[in-house]
A and B are shown apart, each in its own frame.
Chain A
Amino acid sequence: MTTEPPSPGISISKTAEPSTLDVSVGPQHPGSGHCRILIRVDGDYIVSADPDIGYVHRGCEKIAEYRNYVSNIPHLERPNIADAIHLNWGYVLPIEELQGVVVPPRGKYISTIAAEMNRIMSHLYGLAIMQGVFSGHTTIFMWAFGDRDLFIELAEMLTGARLTYSFLVPGGPRRDLPFGFEDRLSRLLDYFEKRLVEYDRIFFSNPSVIARAKGIGVLKREDAKKLGVVGPVLRASGVKYDVRKVEPYGAYADLEFDIPTFEEGDSYSRYLIRFEEMKQSVRIIRQALEKIPKGPIARKAPLVAPEGEATGRVESSRGEITYLVMGDNSDKPSRVKIMNGSFRNLIALPFLVRNVHVADMPIIYGSLDYWPVEADR
């Protein structure tokens, strides 16, 4: 039952046909999590969809205005705890720019290693739940979650927390690589590369997955550009855009990696693009472990930021995250604005689920890897 009257959404026509029916999907149902999608169905086909988000809106941007710069870090990374390093890094970059602090090279490499490990973890989470469970494939849920825990163990070794690291502060990372970390990480990568082949066999080459995802929810290149989607969703539609290449931060300028793209733009290519990105992340971590220089990991940064504004961005697992931080000579920011991948990809959902079967909606939703908490902030 809907608690509000059916609302005219981005694409819902104001006058309902007598043959259509409004269905409220979520916030309690085995899939969407904390997001409600109001769909109008005609028989088994979705006529239009209206996402009703905000079930996890915690007012991060408002809270940020009355806490100081460093105590903002923990709550600003909570919006996406599967991908905490990137949210953290995107917030720290503009502060460093305002304060004129330059992170030493070793700090940049450590941040890069942590970020790429986080990207693998986040993609494994997406593979397990958003893509695996939503397409009824429980084996990949078990496999990917088991392997994700191995990375979490190493992240815990490095940062001290399983998911919410608060690892980067203005000036650099909090800790150096612990003893034995490089060795364990490179052994894990050896194991993980073998597992990737098995993932391909059991999930990506699985005829039932291909039958469900191929050709579903096609986002053409022009539409992707027009809607301004980001990250894997954009690259699956054939646009080669990655902040790591476009505006290199951290140690990415020194490292060699490719930006995988697909031309089809359907759900299956959005599944595959994350698979390919995990391979690239493995490559990046290997190089970073080899090239990591010696020296200090962080510089001392002041607690106060001068007056001015700075925009920083990083490529998170769900796409570009842009932070605007405005300082006013005090220890608290006067404005923090977060523009993240999930919120920007949300516009693709009502666009893609038009004229598809109801049963295809979870596939499309899962392929967008939409993280409601991140979008709501």
Chain B
Amino acid sequence: MSQVSLSREEAIIGQLKARFPEAIEETKIDRARRVTIHFEKDHVQEIAMFMRDELGFDHVKGVAGVDLPTQKKIEVLYFAGSYSNAEVQDFIVILKAKLPRDNPIIASVVSVWESAHFHERETFEMFGVKFEGHPDLRKLLTLDNWEGPPPMLKDIKFPEMGQR
């Protein structure tokens, strides 16, 4: 792995850092073609806009939530990918923002990446993350069979679990 040049990954991080010096908290190159960027949650739309218009990341592959009960945080992950820009077509840039666990609110990126529509709805349903500005934030998968807290939170246990 050490022979692989990581200059393209570093270039993306460099551009993002130069543009948002205070919003980018931490960056990491997981391996070739995988970049993880931790950012401050208020800048999500600006960063998404920059990623789309300047770097060519024109869609998200998914929006995921991760519950971190020990840190009292919920992390929201955006998996950005590119179809238009041939240079970074093979990349997955993972944008991460930490939200407080008791009141997870973040601005929606649907106005920037339309592909995030259903993914944000799913994350809202599974983790209770409210995406402000989402055109239609409803439950998606468990529309009428789940009353109660979002099921994917770590401290939600079900009587069915470990039955047999």
Contacts and interface: CB of A to CB of B under 8 A. Distances in A.
B92 interface: yes
B79 A322 contact: yes
Contact of B61 (A4, A57, A322, A346): A322
Interface in A19-47: none
B89 A57 contact: no
Contacts of B141: 53-54, 57, 376-377
A241 B90 CA distance: 9
A347 B142 contact: no
A3 B144 CA distance: 10
Interface stretch (A131-139, A224-232, A274-282): A224-232
B115 A59 contact: no
A310 B152 CA distance: 20
Contacts of B98: none
Nearest to B138: A7
Interface string B119-144: 10000001000000001101011111
Interface size class of A (residues with CB under 8 A): 35 or more
B59 A227 contact: yes
Contact of B92 (A53, A97, A311): A311
A309 B83 CA distance: 24
Nearest to A350: B117
Given A8-B136, A247-B90, A227 B115 contact: yes
B105 to A, nearest CB: 21
B123 to A, nearest CB: 10
Contacts of A7: 138
Interface stretch (A72-80, A157-165, A336-344): A336-344
A10 interface: yes
Interface size class of B (residues with CB under 8 A): 35 or more
B142 A54 contact: yes
B70 to A, nearest CB: 11
Nearest to A246: B90
Nearest to B114: A226
B102 interface: no
Interface string A1-25: 0011001111000000000000000
A234 interface: yes
Contact of A54 (B117, B119, B143): B143
A225 B58 contact: yes
A52 B139 CA distance: 10
B64 interface: yes
A191 interface: no
A241 B62 contact: no
A228 B113 contact: yes
Given A52-B143, A311-B79, A66 B161 contact: yes
Interface string B51-91: 00000001111101011000000000101010110000110
Given A10-B135, A226-B58, A324-B79, 11 more contacts: A53-B140, A227-B115, A228-B61, A228-B113, A246-B89, A247-B33, A310-B30, A337-B64, A339-B64, A376-B141, A377-B141
22 contacts: A10-B136, A61-B126, A61-B152, A62-B151, A225-B84, A226-B59, A226-B115, A227-B59, A228-B59, A228-B81, A228-B113, A228-B114, A228-B115, A246-B89, A247-B90, A309-B30, A311-B92, A311-B94, A326-B66, A337-B62, A343-B119, A347-B118
Interface of A: 3-4, 7-10, 52-54, 57, 59, 61-62, 65-66, 97, 224-229, 234, 239, 241, 246-247, 309-311, 313, 320, 322, 324, 326, 335, 337, 339, 343-344, 346-347, 376-377
